[in-house]
Amino acid sequence: MALREILTVPNPVLKQVSTPVAAVDDDLRLLMDDMLETMYAAPGIGLAAIQVGVPKQVIVMDLARQDEPPQPRYFVNPEILWASEETAPYEEGCLSVPEVYDEVDRPARVKLRYLDYHGQEVVEDAEGLFAVCIQHEMDHLKGVLFIDHLSRLKRERAVARVRKLARTG
Ligand code: K1U
Ligand code: ZN
């Protein structure tokens, strides 16, 4: 396994639309292993492949609390089959927009279909942080960042802050 570099705004690669994966094979599992290690090291609770420069529809996630054993999860070619009309706000962050947090409203519950680490199809309901995180990560697959849900002023301030952070460390 290897750590990969996490791209940050305003890198244009983050705006790319990711393409579906043809097969869940050993090469893809290697990518997912690297992504999980990179996410744990950051640290974060989710990561989309485009954040490490790979435009494939792949997401990793672990929502276990610190006092729980790790619960790594893998989502290949995820689709939202249904989303609730009810929305819920959550203060989101993003490893590609470091040190910026702001509230985003998203559907409170979604039904998902995806392929798991072994290529098995899974249909699952998500709510709470799982619903927030999977929608945030699926936005990455469309080239959308959580700051794209904010006002233009907030978005421009966020990008300026990350640029400054990159300069000053
Ligand atoms: O960059 C990403 O997509 C990962 C992002 C996921 C996410 C967080 C919150 C709401 C929606 C999506 C993060 O992991 S940001 C870091 C973070 O939330 C965290 C880091 C350490 C411990 C607990 C949380
Ligand atoms: Zn993100």
Neighbours of 105 (CB within 10 A): 10
Compute the radius of gyration of the chain from its Cα atoms. 15
Per-residue pLDDT in tens (0 to 9) along the chain, 169 residues = 899 999 999 999 999 999 999 999 999 999 999 999 999 999 999 999 999 999 999 999 999 999 999 999 999 999 999 999 999 999 999 999 999 999 999 999 999 999 999 999 999 999 999 999 999 999 999 999 999 999 999 999 999 999 999 999 7
Return the beta strands (E) in the chain as ranges: 46-48, 58-61, 73-83, 87-92, 102-107, 109-115, 121-127
Ligand 1 atom closest to Cα of 91?
10
Ligand 1 pocket residues where CB is under 6 Å? 43-47, 51, 92-96, 132-133, 136-137
pTM for the full model? 0.98
From the CA of 9, how far away is ligand 2's center (Å)? Answer: 11
Which sequence positions are flagged as catalytic? 137
